[in-house]
Amino acid sequence: MTELTELGVAAIRDGVAKGDFTAAEVAEAFNANVAAAQDALNAFIVATPDKAIAAAKATDAKRAAGEALGKMGGVPIGMKDLFATVGVQTTAASHILEGFVPQYESTVSQKLWDAGAGMLGKLNLDQFAMGSSNETSYFGNVISPWRRNDGGNAPLAPGGSSGGSSAAVSARLCPAATGTDTGGSIRQPAAFTGITGIKPTYGRCSRWGIVAFASSLDQAGPMARDTRDCAIMLEAMAGFDPKDATSLDMPVPAWEAGLSADLAGKTVGIPREYRMDGMDADVAKSWDDGIAWLKDAGARVIDIALPHTRYALPAYYIIAPAEASSNLARYDGVRYGLRDLPDGAGLQDMYAATRAAGFGAEVKRRILIGTYVLSAGFYDAYYTQAQKVRTLISRDFTAAFEQCDVILAPTAPSAAFALGDNIDDPLSMYLNDVFAVPASLAGLPAMSVPAGLNREGLPLGLQIIGRPFDEQGVLNAGLAIEQRAGFAAKPEKWW
Amino acid sequence: MSVDTATVARIAALARIKLGEGELEAMVPELNGILAWVEQLGEVDVAGVEPMTAVIENHLRLRDDVIDADPLTGGGIRDKVLANAPAAEHGFFGVPKVIE
């Protein structure tokens, strides 16, 4: 029998249902991997082995009683520490929320537990999901399980902000994990670690109970080893929630049952603006490979134009900080979280001291930018202009989707970089999301699938962007690439 | 547009984040770098373009006018609301004195 921790979501679900192994055996195997890797990878902020075992035993009891096990029955998962979990510390990787123990469960995590999943622990991330390398966490860097093939063993970034999720899935600490994506935070870490992740259409997954960063962009999604596993988990996570004002009131399609790698009759658009000067040669080659694979799957491939692409990133870095400055105003040292009350301080001094002590440097930087662009006299020049540009970016996609069904592009401009490479230069860090941000601004479903390894032996991802609500089209193109890329590489165990 | 130390101090005060002098000085070039970079949005012709308000067309719903229709977001959960307060007192959030 294969080692249980080598199995993905579908294999565990089916194996438990058939009785090949018990859910408790699976949970124990993953609990052991989580514990063994913690010192080296730092992927989890809190491990919850008892929760994983309890959920597994409930699944085993249901099976013994002949009851239905659910879409995720017996599958233990990692939960990004941005989702509120009853009775389990939820920090957004910040000091200001250290020790915060939610009294309620986020809608998405509750749906996963209802579907039979169990929780292995809360995964590390960039603080308040702000970052592309998982270097802004108050609880320390996550180390990618991947290493370059040069023997240098430089610690590499797992991507961000869902860096704990990507490291844990690729290191076989969990078969799947939740992520959230505001401007690439599912797709870029998935690409960096050779796994698969999908951000659904804005509104598919409820935001209720997810620590807010930029509410018009934030979307939850699954990160797993392959397309089928993502389809299964997304079905369990998605669905209308009256507690989220922007939740889509639409039925959840049967994405797993609808999977098909036959792309006959489909048209794939290749956005010429994404082919930038000085593009990494390996990234360019993987993109060409992707085009060939989709043609082989029966698709027609055409060039398309997304003329406002180059303005997406600057627009994002006005809109996201503006929303963050407003959302993060709630951390005031009064109702929950950290309080710093200097001797003799009044209320205003307490706010300022609490927020100074509780937020990290990148979070402060974004709050200040957001406060500035929303301030009187500058609002129209920055924020309104950015929202107009956002409309133009969205229109670019609408026009492109009159000619094609999905869009193929690289996920990130490079493979994983070494920790410390970009941390002192915010702008170079922001450029990591240059290919991911446009789809976020337009609220479109987008996924990253592994395409191959670069010259350094590190994974590269390909991104598929779809029409609103067409997660199926995105997943199917992802499956077609997955079947042809034959990506089987995994990090060699050193931890 | 660029910011100077006084402007950053004003923004930090608006944002209720206490910055030490060194932090303030360090933040000025960082913010200016980002602001200079986003300035390029000014070259986009946005004549007649409405600012984005919703990425996916949706309508704002009203909930049924029923008290505690959803127990998770209804009332009557004072102790849960106060459970994480750094200084809960007598069923309220405790704060430093606000009137002299």
Q: What is the pLDDT of residues A412-461, one digit of tens each?
A: 999 999 999 988 888 888 888 999 999 999 999 999 999 999 999 999 99
**In chain B, what residues touch A215 (CB-CB under 8 Å)?**
none
What pLDDT was estimated at residue A237? Answer: 98
Question: Distance from B52 to chain A by nearest Cα, in Å?
Answer: 5
Model confidence at B21: pLDDT above 60: yes
pLDDT in tens, A2-24: 699 999 999 999 999 999 999 99
Query: Looking at the domain A4-262, which fold is it?
Result: Amidase signature (AS) enzymes (3.90.1300)
The Cα A182–Cα A122 span in angstroms is 19
Residue type present at position B79? D
Closest chain B CA to residue A215: B54
The Cα A96–Cα A181 span in angstroms is 22
pLDDT level of residue A243 (50, 70, 90 thresholds)? very high
Model confidence at A1: pLDDT above 60: no
pTM score: 0.97
Question: Distance from B9 to chain A by nearest Cα, in Å?
Answer: 10
* B3/A372 touch (CB, cutoff 8 Å), yes or no: yes
Give the lowest-confidence range in A13-22, A119-128, A485-494, B90-99.
Answer: B90-99
* A203/B17 touch (CB, cutoff 8 Å), yes or no: no
**In chain B, what residues touch A372 (CB-CB under 8 Å)?**
3, 7, 11, 31, 35
pLDDT level of residue A279 (50, 70, 90 thresholds)? very high
* B44/A390 touch (CB, cutoff 8 Å), yes or no: no
pLDDT in tens, B26-83: 999 999 999 999 999 999 999 999 999 999 988 888 888 888 888 778 888 999 999 9
What pLDDT was estimated at residue A94? Answer: 98
Closest chain B CA to residue A378: B1
**ipTM of the complex as predicted:** 0.95
The Cα A121–Cα A115 span in angstroms is 17
* A246/B46 touch (CB, cutoff 8 Å), yes or no: no
**In chain A, what residues touch B81 (CB-CB under 8 Å)?**
103, 335
What pLDDT was estimated at residue A2? Answer: 66
Q: Give A136 or A422, the one with higher predicted confidence.
A: A136
* B87/A100 touch (CB, cutoff 8 Å), yes or no: no
pLDDT in tens, A384-413: 999 999 999 999 999 999 999 999 999 999
The Cα A233–Cα A176 span in angstroms is 8
Sequence-ordered alpha helix ranges (H) in A148-296: 163-170, 187-193, 227-237, 281-296
Sequence-ordered alpha helix ranges (H) in A42-145: 49-64, 107-114
Sheet harboring A300-304: ordered strands across?
A44-47, A118-123, A76-80, A176-181, A219-224, A196-199, A446-453, A459-466, A406-410, A267-271, A300-304
What is the per-residue burial (b if ≥16 Cβ within 10 Å, else e) of B62-96?
Answer: eeeeeeeeeeeeeeeeeeebbebbbebeeeeeebb
* B86/A356 touch (CB, cutoff 8 Å), yes or no: no
Cis bond before residue A132 (omega within 30° of 0): no
Question: Distance from A390 to chain B by nearest Cα, in Å?
Answer: 6
Q: Which residue, among A15, A209, A226, A8, has the nearest Cα to A109 in the 3D structure?
A: A209
Count, residues in chain A: 495
pLDDT in tens, A150-207: 988 999 999 999 999 999 999 999 999 999 999 999 999 999 999 999 999 999 999 9
**In chain B, what residues touch A329 (CB-CB under 8 Å)?**
16
Which strand (E) or helix (H) includes residue A176? Answer: strand A176-181
* Structure token pair of residue A449: 């699938």
Model confidence at B100: pLDDT above 70: no
Closest chain B CA to residue A246: B58
**In chain B, what residues touch A101 (CB-CB under 8 Å)?**
83-84
Closest chain B CA to residue A202: B56
What pLDDT was estimated at residue B3? Answer: 93
Domain extents for chain A? Answer: 4-262
The Cα A312–Cα A386 span in angstroms is 9
Which strand (E) or helix (H) includes residue A472? Answer: helix A471-485
* Structure token pair of residue A62: 């249901």
* Structure token pair of residue A88: 């389990």
Measure CB to CB from residue A367 to each of B15, B50, B60 and give the nearest one.
Answer: B15
The 8-class DSSP code of residue A141 comes to P
Measure CB to CB from residue A103 to each of B40, B53, B83 and give the nearest one.
Answer: B83
Share of chain A above pLDDT 70, in %: 100
What pLDDT was estimated at residue A277? Answer: 83
Count, residues in chain B: 100
Measure CB to CB from residue A385 to each of B1, B27, B41 and give the nearest one.
Answer: B41
Q: Which residues pair with A98 in a beta bridge?
A: none
**In chain B, what residues touch A203 (CB-CB under 8 Å)?**
56, 58
What pLDDT was estimated at residue A129? Answer: 97
Q: Which domains does chain B have, with CATH numbers?
A: 5-41 (1.10.20)
Half-sphere exposure of B88 (CA within 13 A, CB side): 12
Measure CB to CB from residue A427 to each of B37, B51, B86 and give the nearest one.
Answer: B37
**In chain B, what residues touch A369 (CB-CB under 8 Å)?**
31, 34-35
Q: Enumerate the active-site residues of A.
A: 80, 161, 185
By the 10 Å C-beta count (0-12 exposed, 13-18 middle, 19+ buried), A240 is classed as middle
Closest chain A CA to residue B61: A245
The Cα A305–Cα A314 span in angstroms is 19
Given a contact cutoff of 8 angstroms between Cβ atoms, the answer to whether A17 and A63 are in contact is: yes
pLDDT level of residue B1 (50, 70, 90 thresholds)? confident
The Cα A161–Cα A115 span in angstroms is 26
- How does the average pLDDT of chain A come out, rounded? 97
By the 10 Å C-beta count (0-12 exposed, 13-18 middle, 19+ buried), A289 is classed as middle
What pLDDT was estimated at residue B69? Answer: 81
CA A475 to chain centre: 16
Given a contact cutoff of 8 angstroms between Cβ atoms, the answer to whether A95 and A53 are in contact is: no
Measure CB to CB from residue A364 to each of B17, B70, B73 and give the nearest one.
Answer: B17
